[in-house]
Structure 1
């Protein structure tokens, strides 16, 4: 066991602040918690952070047509041959309707048995899917009519619409979002009795690519309508308040 004199123990406790002795002359006083005193070193200039949103509505200029052929025959070879023949006729019809060869893509090729009562095979089903990109939407109805005229093997599985170049609407949406945030900041600064200072931070929070916004088509227009799509951008601005 290590023994220490009372004088040594008192000196150690006093230096650690654990004994009722006096503080050293050059030590800084500790501010008690909750005193409310804030030193100048941690005071920041007042700021305001706001969000702005910009939305632009655009008309899609590209249509994707999901189509293909499907046949059933007694044997696998007959089904596959019939499907390839029908797919060739479909491709020629799409090309004749103005779809470019580079805008055609095979997206399915299948062959399999069908059962009357398993495991008894009743025949074979063969299918070949084709995706066609129609860049002139005004011709969309003509393309669909040409596909339907190919024959009973043809299947129309649906359409979707796109905006080929998002850069222009996104640029406009960013400008609207910035002005929206700026106007909000000015209003809040005025309500607080302050003036808006310089922007300290500008950060783009989210960008939403074109999303569908459906609208009714007029009766005298084509039956296939791309409707409208919304492009949106949100931005965060942080301003200094004066």
Structure 2
């Protein structure tokens, strides 16, 4: 009868580009456990994968703002300015379905409350730019629509984040199997079938937001990279 319980500290880390290679590294976290007894032999390993990709969609938050002596004049002028802004965005090739009104406001402004000094009206729109290469051109067209235009910020995202997540799962599982095969060999056994798989610590792609001030410089309009990471714990039988 053989009774052996041994814990080995190791973690497997994979860092890959979307179509790049893989690199492995070890750290000090408890990520592999080999337990052998008279009933069964198993190895438990944890694989990690982190993949990155350049976002392919930009969301532009832009709008118009006017101040006029009367509420009616402020609202009418804001609507006209918003129509010019919408036309400018459509002229860049953005589809009408990718424009969404996200603000519509009208209210008084005061010099000394309750004395009304005038009225402020604003209308905002979110534009989905599906060609990131055209980001500069779209922003310039919006700004050129009039002095009433206000840039409220941009964000980038990956349109098909699930594809990146699936690739990360595959890489994490491949990493876990490689570690299991190593421990099976070190223990003088062969790797058997998978007993259990547990996915944990999944970080999906997240939009990276930037302030509107970045639009002043063309070089700063860059989507950068977004990453997704997956940890998977896999239990294998040993033969």
**2:105–2:122 Cα contact (<8 Å) kept:** yes
Distance, in Å, in 2 between the alignment partners of 1:223 and 1:92 is: 25
* Matched residue, 1:229: 226
Distance, in Å, in 2 between the alignment partners of 1:209 and 1:159 is: 20
- Describe how 1:98-113 pairs up with structure 2 within 5 A: 98-113=93-108
Q: Note the residue ranges of structure 1 that are not aligned, 5 or more in a row.
A: 1-41, 215-220
* Matched residue, 1:64: 59
* Matched residue, 2:85: 90
* Matched residue, 2:114: 119
* Matched residue, 2:169: 174
Shift of 1:97: 1.1
Q: Note the residue ranges of structure 2 that are not aligned, 5 or more in a row.
A: 1-36, 210-217
Shift of 1:61: 0.7
The structure number with the bigger radius of gyration is 1
- Indicate which of 143, 146, 155 corresponds to 1:148: 143
* Matched residue, 1:139: 134
Root-mean-square deviation (Å) = 2.1
Distance, in Å, in 1 between the alignment partners of 2:207 and 2:130 is: 18
Distance, in Å, in 1 between the alignment partners of 2:207 and 2:48 is: 18
Shift of 1:166: 2.1
**Secondary structure of residue in 1 paired with 2:175:** helix
Distance, in Å, in 1 between the alignment partners of 2:208 and 2:46 is: 24
1:142-183, CA deviations, whole angstroms, 9 ceiling, x for partnerless residues?
Answer: 100000111111010111111111233222211110011112
Shift of 1:135: 0.5
Q: Tell me if 1:165 matches 2:160.
A: yes
Distance, in Å, in 1 between the alignment partners of 2:187 and 2:67 is: 75
**2:98–2:127 Cα contact (<8 Å) kept:** yes
**2:157–2:208 Cα contact (<8 Å) kept:** no
**1:141–1:223 Cα contact (<8 Å) kept:** no
The more displaced of 182-191 and 88-97 is 182-191
Shift of 1:222: 5.0
Distance, in Å, in 2 between the alignment partners of 1:94 and 1:211 is: 26
After superposition, the Cα gap between the structure-2 partners of 1:89 and 1:163, relative to the gap in structure 1 and judged at 3 Å, is same
- Indicate which of 74, 77, 98 corresponds to 1:79: 74
Distance, in Å, in 2 between the alignment partners of 1:193 and 1:122 is: 85
**Secondary structure of residue in 2 paired with 1:227:** coil
Q: Tell me if 1:239 matches 2:231.
A: no
